[in-house]
Chains A and B, each alone.
Chain A
Amino acid sequence: MEKTDQRKELKVSAIENGTVIDHIPVQSVYQVLRILNLMEYNDQLLIGINLESQKMGKKGIIKVSNKFFKSDEINKIALVAPSATLILIKNFSVSEKKQVEIPAKVEKIVKCFNPNCITNVEEVVTRFDVVNKDELKLRCHYCEKITAKDNMAFK
């Protein structure tokens, strides 16, 4: 009896190896899937939306089998879901847990919103300084215009 009380029932089943992206704001789950190209993922992918969370009320979760994200991908997650936690799973157990963090500089992954910016005309690797982490404002290193959360697109 005691044992079942202790064992929390999983709403989304466990994965053997891979990454769990936890604490995603509910409205950002599809965007996270999109920016990580997970729509076309060939291995097991488990998605939970509107799950109860003590921390956030409701949350989303994505479990990706046999996938460990690179820093560029983690930065993308941080930009669309700054509250997310990454949990690395090896052999059904947690090998590492970390909070994503918005970096001071963002390279390569974001498109400048300004259609007249040289980075949208020629092949130029985009570079931004994060000038405001809370409201998420990125200043383009080239055209110096601000790309904000509501007009942010990813490369």
Chain B
Amino acid sequence: MKNKSLVSINDYTREEHIHILDLAGAFERRPKQRILEDYVVATLFFEPSTRTRLSFESAATRLGARVIGFSEPGSSSVQKGESLRDTIRTVSNYADIIVMRHPREGSARFASEVSKVPVINAGDGANQHPTQTLLDLYSIRKTQGTLDNLNVAFIGDLKYGRTVHSLTMALCNYNTTFHLVSPTELKLPSSVKMHIKAKQLGYHQYTELSEVIPKVDILYMTRIQKERFQDPMEYEKVKNSYILRNSMLDNAKSNLRIMHPLPRVNEITYDVDDNPKAYYFTQALNGVFVRQALLAAILGVVE
């Protein structure tokens, strides 16, 4: 994996995914190891994303690396009209690896082609966010003991959520049965369903959240955004139908865990937070271990 950019979840094989999860497990057991002391990590955030950036910077710092970069384009040469090509070429002289978030789709792939050093995609528009997918896989494996043969439900905005798309594609390698719960307007697009069908896996579509809860091992919640609806009336109709409350979890399986990429707005009520099935904050913590594993593996300091 040394020097191999991570732009899209499919850039790495199933075996490479598993390898990263195993490495992340080792970092969870020993998070502070100064193995990147000689390295510089650049975090280029052309679009603000506090959570992802802090998670990467925490991962890099815990491994002893120095972090350079910017957290919004206003404080960089981008403001002066510099092209992405030139920014990446310049920064790849200063750093050993580049972590980037950019509002345009395909920007990370392009950056990986003009950069002298490997690039990790921390989100390119609505396209890919592979480190989120890896931390989701890590969280699923950790809570269920396996990735194989699970029943996974995705709830909410399945049409625009890139998190859902990438995780669905990754889970297609593990004989997952998918339970897709969304308003009709926000159904999983056929371009993603294509992957499920290609592997001949089971999938069921629902518009009601409650009926799916007893059937599944993972409940992956997402936020429904008002601006996704053409007709505001439609949003008003569905906005309360996909809210998870603690009382709905009574007949859930004991191994069920609730995940969410965060930030949440109102789709999980606060009374769920104290339920042992709530996993979303631990899920965010797991992101640090997975990013430690990626930095270390791509820089070639661990095998």
**B-contacting residues of A (Cβ < 8 Å)?**
112, 114, 116-119, 121-124, 140-146
Contact = CB atoms under 8 A, between A and B. Distances in A.
Chain B interface residue count: which class? Answer: 10 to 19
Name A's interface SS.
Answer: loop
B176 interface: no
Given A116-B125, A116-B126, A118-B110, A145 B105 contact: yes
B55 interface: no
B150 interface: no
Contacts of A121: 104
B105 A143 contact: yes
27 contacts: A114-B105, A116-B104, A116-B105, A116-B125, A117-B104, A117-B106, A118-B84, A118-B102, A118-B104, A118-B105, A118-B109, A118-B110, A119-B106, A122-B83, A123-B83, A123-B85, A124-B106, A140-B106, A141-B106, A142-B106, A143-B104, A143-B124, A144-B8, A144-B105, A144-B127, A144-B128, A146-B191
Contacts of A117: 104-106
A152 B127 CA distance: 20
Residue of A117, A118, A140, A143 with most partner-chain B CB within 10 A: A118
Interface string B189-231: 0010000000000000000000000000000000000000000
Contacts of B177: none
Contacts of A119: 106, 110
A34 B191 CA distance: 31
A119 B127 CA distance: 14
Contacts of A123: 83, 85
B132 interface: no
Nearest to A137: B191
B147 to A, nearest CB: 23
A110 B32 CA distance: 49
A16 B103 CA distance: 54
Given A142-B110, A145-B105, A122 B85 contact: yes
Contacts of A144: 8, 105-106, 127-128
B126 to A, nearest CB: 7
